[in-house]
């Protein structure tokens, strides 16, 4: 990382910060290089010590890491005969701190914390103080990138190790817009796993505050290839493929998958433990689960890509019904309690957790947290996982089955699901998701229902399709 932004020579007297420095792994190398450059330029040890005190900064919120960092730096400089450095390592929350000067270099490996794992106070603070966190389910590291850009001097350079979901996450759109004018290099580890516990693959971004140039370098680290791309080709998502935006490939791709089929996220109970029944046996009227029984009328077959792969039979409590026009209907609470007393008794053991869900305002405690996905469910559908490893596995579900995980696809009007399956199994679709999907875990790609709906394909390859004019939008 330090080599990539030229933090190697002529660095004496330049201000640098690692703003989430942990035990100082990167800072140690920074200090080593700083001393080496000072010695090369014939500065005395006293001058180098002063330089370290003026130019090297770190920030770390955690007390233990902070002290480890100082101790690690002290032990490093002692090898050069330098001692008693009054380090500018700060034990504070860098996102709430301001300096009255700018930095020549910001270097780091910020903390990654997903929106769901952030407490409500931090979410609010980030939302109110960072453009990158204004919308959607932002990650904690977005604020670090934004903060770092603002800490840079007019000629300053930044290098950051970030998850590569940054390129494509819908929530990172504002962040990408902030970053793109200064972007000089992207090092993408695509399928290469740098860290054991981190799901998404890693990438390194380099920014230069003084450049607002049209092109940037894209390094595919796994394939050891470098490409020069035009920033004009970075649209909503950053797709690093010379083909992705070229006219020649999109010419015949005039039809959108979402005009013929509706791809959606599966139902969200927000507490599957209460609704999905994994171990049970059934009689004519009831399903028996431990010491409880549940009316069979309120149960449906439940599926996830995982349960289908493992051929598990699961049930789900489905506290709704469809009328003769296929409209989703809710039971009035008194009716529900009267008609399904055993089910209510069963659900009551989870009542506390069910009430704690961040549910739709109108949801009853015994209903799913979200009901939006239920509207179009009562028809044959396809189910696939959001994670694709090698092949796309597509399952067919019947009308009454309920998908509780993954992405489900239903036709719009009379289009056969058989065609959807054929399109999704095509090589062209596979290449498409390699471009738009997010690399996860080193060997899988995460795709979203929006990615599927936005897929453009060549209708000549599927003559069975009606023209879109005949298709009703769900």
Ligand X SMILES: C[S@@+](CC[C@H](N)C(=O)[O-])C[C@H]1O[C@@H](n2cnc3c(N)ncnc32)[C@H](O)[C@@H]1O
Question: In the complex, what is the shortest distance from the CB of residue 112 to ligand X, in angstroms, rounded to a whole number?
Answer: 7
Question: In the complex, what is the shortest distance from the CB of residue 59 to ligand X, in angstroms, rounded to a whole number?
Answer: 5
Packed helices 25-40 and 45-55: angle between N→C axes, nearest 10 degrees: 140
Pick 61 or 419: Cβ nearer ligand X: 61
The DSSP line for 101-126 is: S-EEEEEE------GGGS-HHHHHHH
Q: Which residues pair with 160 in a beta bridge?
A: 108, 205
Radius of gyration of the chain (CA): 27
Cα dihedral sign for 373, 135, 444, 111?
A: negative
Question: In the complex, what is the shortest distance from the CB of residue 97 to ligand X, in angstroms, rounded to a whole number?
Answer: 8
SS3 181: helix
Question: In the complex, what is the shortest distance from the CB of residue 2 to ligand X, in angstroms, rounded to a whole number?
Answer: 12
Two tokens, residue 410: 């239903």
Pick 61 or 471: Cβ nearer ligand X: 61
Do the Cβ atoms of 205 and 159 come closer than 8 Å?
yes
Pick 65 or 381: Cβ nearer ligand X: 65
Report the C-alpha gap between 228 and 246 in whole angstroms. Answer: 14
Residues 426-447 as b or e (16 or more Cβ within 10 Å = b): beebeebbbbbbbbbeeebbbb
Cα dihedral sign for 452, 457, 459, 460?
A: negative
Question: In the complex, what is the shortest distance from the CB of residue 69 to ligand X, in angstroms, rounded to a whole number?
Answer: 9
Question: In the complex, what is the shortest distance from the CB of residue 26 to ligand X, in angstroms, rounded to a whole number?
Answer: 5
Pick 206 or 410: Cβ nearer ligand X: 206
Pick 109 or 208: Cβ nearer ligand X: 109
Question: In the complex, what is the shortest distance from the CB of residue 19 to ligand X, in angstroms, rounded to a whole number?
Answer: 6
Cβ neighbours, 10 Å, residue 200: 23
Two tokens, residue 223: 């394939």
- CA 3 to chain centroid, in Å, comes to 28
Report the C-alpha gap between 313 and 320 in whole angstroms. Answer: 21
Pick 61 or 180: Cβ nearer ligand X: 61
Angstrom CA distances, 341 to 162, 215, 272, 292, 328, stand at 51, 65, 20, 11, 22
Pick 94 or 267: Cβ nearer ligand X: 94
Pick 91 or 102: Cβ nearer ligand X: 91
Pick 21 or 420: Cβ nearer ligand X: 21
Residues of the shown chain interacting with ligand X in the complex, contacts defined by CB under 6 A: 18, 20-22, 25-26, 59-62, 65, 93-95, 108-109, 111
Query: In 340-395, where does DSSP find H-type helix?
Result: 341-348, 351-355
Q: Which distant-in-sequence residues (6+ apart) come within 8 Å of 27 by Cβ?
A: 18, 21, 56, 58, 69, 72, 73, 89
Question: In the complex, what is the shortest distance from the CB of residue 94 to ligand X, in angstroms, rounded to a whole number?
Answer: 4
Pick 164 or 263: Cβ nearer ligand X: 164
Question: In the complex, what is the shortest distance from the CB of residue 145 to ligand X, in angstroms, rounded to a whole number?
Answer: 13
Question: In the complex, what is the shortest distance from the CB of residue 444 to ligand X, in angstroms, rounded to a whole number?
Answer: 23
């Amino acid at each position: 990382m330090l080599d990539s932004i030229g933090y190697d020579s002529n660095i004496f007297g330049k201000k640098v910060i690692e703003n989430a420095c942990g035990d100082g792994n990167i800072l140690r190398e920074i200090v080593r290089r700083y001393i080496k450059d000072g010695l090369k330029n014939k500065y005395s040890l006293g001058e180098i010590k002063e330089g370290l005190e003026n130019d090297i900064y770190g920030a770390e919120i955690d007390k233990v890491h902070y002290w480890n960092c100082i101790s690690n730096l002290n032990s490093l400089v002692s090898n050069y005969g330098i001692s008693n450095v009054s380090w500018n390592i700060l034990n504070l929350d860098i996102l709430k701190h301001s300096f009255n000067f700018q930095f020549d270099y910001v270097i780091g490996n910020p903390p990654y914390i997903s929106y769901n794992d952030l407490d409500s106070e931090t979410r609010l603070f980030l939302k109110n103080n960072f453009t990158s966190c204004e919308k959607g389910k932002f990650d904690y590291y977005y604020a670090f990138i934004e903060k770092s850009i603002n800490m840079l001097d007019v000629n300053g350079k930044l290098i950051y190790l970030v998850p590569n979901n940054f390129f494509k996450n819908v929530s990172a759109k504002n962040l990408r817009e902030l970053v793109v004018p200064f972007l000089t290099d992207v090092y993408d580890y695509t399928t290469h796993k740098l860290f054991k516990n981190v799901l998404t693959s890693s990438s390194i971004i380099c920014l230069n505050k003084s450049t607002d140039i049209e092109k940037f370098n894209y390094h595919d680290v796994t394939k050891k290839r470098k490409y020069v791309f035009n920033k004009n080709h970075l649209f909503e998502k950053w797709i690093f493929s010379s083909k992705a935006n070229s006219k020649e490939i999109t010419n015949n791709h005039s039809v959108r998958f979402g005009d013929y089929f509706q791809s959606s996220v599966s139902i969200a109970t927000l507490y599957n433990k209460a609704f999905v029944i994994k171990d049970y046996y059934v009689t004519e009227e009831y399903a028996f689960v431990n010491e409880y029984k549940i009316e069979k009328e309120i149960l449906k077959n439940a599926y996830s890509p995982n349960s289908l792969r493992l051929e598990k039979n699961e049930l789900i409590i489905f506290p709704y019904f469809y009328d003769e026009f296929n409209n989703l209907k809710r039971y009035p609470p008194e009716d529900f309690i009267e008609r399904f007393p055993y089910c209510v008794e069963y659900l009551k053991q989870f009542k506390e957790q069910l009430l704690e869900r961040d549910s739709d305002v109108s949801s009853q405690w015994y209903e799913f947290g979200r009901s939006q996905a239920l509207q179009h469910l009562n028809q044959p559908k396809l189910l696939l996982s959001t994670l694709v490893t090698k092949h796309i596995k597509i399952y067919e579900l019947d009308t009454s089955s309920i998908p509780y995980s993954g992405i489900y696809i239903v036709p719009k009007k009379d289009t056969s699901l058989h065609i959807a399956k054929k399109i999704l199994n095509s090589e062209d679709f596979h290449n498409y998701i390699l471009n738009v999907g997010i690399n996860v875990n080193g060997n899988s790609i995460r795709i979203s229902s929006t990615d599927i709906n936005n897929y453009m394909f060549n209708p000549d390859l599927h003559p069975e399709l009606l023209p879109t004019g005949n298709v009703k939008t769900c």
